[in-house]
Amino acid sequence: MQSLRQRFIILALIASAALTFIPSSARAQAALLMEEPYGFFGALNPTGHTAIYFARICAETPVKLRRCEPGESGSVISRYQGIAGYDWVAMPLIPYLYSVKNTSEVPQRVNPTIVRNLRSRYHEEHLGGLGEEVFAGNLVRGGWTQLVGVAYERRIYAFRFETSEAQDNALIEQLNAHDNRSRFNLIYSNCADFARSVLNSYFPSTFRRNLFPDAGMTTPKQITYKLVRYSEKHRESGLTVYEIPQLPGLRRMSRSNKSVAASLVTTGYAVPLVLMNPYLAGGIFVDYLVRGRYPLIPEHPPGLTPDRLYSLTSPAPATQNPDSASAQVPGAVANTSGLVTAGVAANSGLKEIVDNHERKDTAELQ
C-alpha cells in the first residue's frame, strides 16, 4: 500500500513538473514592425513604414483573418495605398519578408531579376484574389510589390510584445467585420494610424497623435517610441527588440526612420524652410533637438536571419526578462556583427553591408 502511494506521489510530481514547461494556451505574441525608408519616396518622406506581426493570427486570404493552425508562423497586417481599394492587407510572415513560402527557399544573394521573379511567382500563385488589375508599384507609388519581399528593400526592427488569445480573437472579429475599404491619407490615415488603432485595442488609450515633433501626424517612430515607453512602465508586456536585416543585392541599404521634425531639419527641406520663415525653421530645429530624436534601438539587438525567425514566432520563455531589450533567446544572435556566422551562411555579403550601415547611422546621429 505504501509503495503504491509513493508511486502515485512520484507520478504527480512528474506531471506537475511537465505542466510547468508547457506554454499556456492563453499566451501569444505580436510585434510592431518599424520599417526603414528606402528609395526615392524614402528620400522625400523618410518616416518609413509600420506594420504589425501576429504570431497566432493567420491570413485565410489577404483580406480575411483566422486563427493559425499548428505549424503556421502568423501574418503581417498593415494599411497600404493602391491595393485594389482595400484598407488593410494581411500576408504570411515568410512571404512578406522574402517572397517565398519557406525559409529554405531564400536565395543566397539577390539582384533585381531574382527579386522580380520571386515576387511575380508568389503573386501569380497566391495574390490573384486581390484582382488582376492591381498595380505593381513604381518609384513614387506603391502597389502589390509592397506585400512581398520587404526584407530585400529595407531593414526592419521588430518590437515584440505579449498578447492574449482573447485579444487576438477580438482583433480577428473586429477586422473581419470591418468595412475593409481604403481610407488612406498620408496626413491623417496612414500606416502608422492603422497601427495606432490596432495597438490601442491591446493597450487602451496609450497611443495618441502628437503635435510635437510630428506636426499632428502619426509616424512609425512615434508609435514605436510610445510602445517602448509603455513597456518600461508595464514589464508584463515582455517587450523585446529584434533586427531583421536587409538582404543585400537589390538596392542600397535603407535609411533610419525619422520624425517629421527630423525629416525637415536633416534633409533638403531645411533650406527652403529657412528662406520662407526662419522663425518657424528655428522652432522646428529646437523641437527636433528636444523631442525629435526618439531613442529606440538598443546597441546590439538580436538579429533574425531567415533561419532564426523562430525567435520571433515562438512563444517567449516565461522566465524571460521583459525589460532587457537585447535579452538573449535560444538561437538569437547576440550582436549584429555575428549575423553571418550565426545566421544564414549564404548571406556572405551581409556582415560588411550591415556594419557599414550601422556606422553611417552613428555618424548621422553625431
3-state secondary structure of 152: helix
The per-residue pLDDT for range 106-119, each reduced to its tens digit, is 998 899 999 999 99
Sequence-ordered alpha helix ranges (H) in the chain: 2-20, 39-44, 93-98, 112-126, 165-177, 191-202, 220-233, 260-265, 270-276, 278-291, 310-313, 339-342, 350-365
Q: What pLDDT shows up at residue 135?
A: 87
Q: Are 95 and 126 in contact (CB under 8 A)?
A: yes
pLDDT at 338 over 50: no
Per DSSP, 189 falls in state B
Residue 139: per-residue pLDDT:
72
Between CA 358 and CA 364 the distance in angstroms is 10
Per residue in 124-182, pLDDT tens?
999 988 987 888 887 777 789 999 999 999 999 999 999 999 999 999 999 999 889 98
Q: Which amino acid is at 2?
A: Q
Residue 355, pLDDT > 70, answer no
Say how far apart CA 233 and CA 203 lie, in whole Å: 12
Q: Does an H or E element contain 207, and which?
A: none
Tracing cell 515576387 back to the chain, one arrives at: 119
Higher-pLDDT residue of 248, 321: 248
**331-360 in b/e burial notation, b at 16+ Cβ within 10 A?**
bbbeebeebbebbbebbeebbebbeebbee
CB 149 within 8 A of CB 120: no
Q: CA 79 to CA 225: how far, in whole Å? A: 20
**Is the pLDDT reported for residue 343 higher than 60?**
no
The residue type of 163 is T
Q: What is the pLDDT of residues 31-86, one digit of tens each?
A: 999 999 998 878 888 899 999 999 999 999 999 999 999 999 999 999 998 899 99
Kindly report the pTM of this predicted structure. Answer: 0.77
Pairing of strands 156-164, 27-35: antiparallel
As a whole number of angstroms, the distance between CA 236 and CA 231 comes to 8
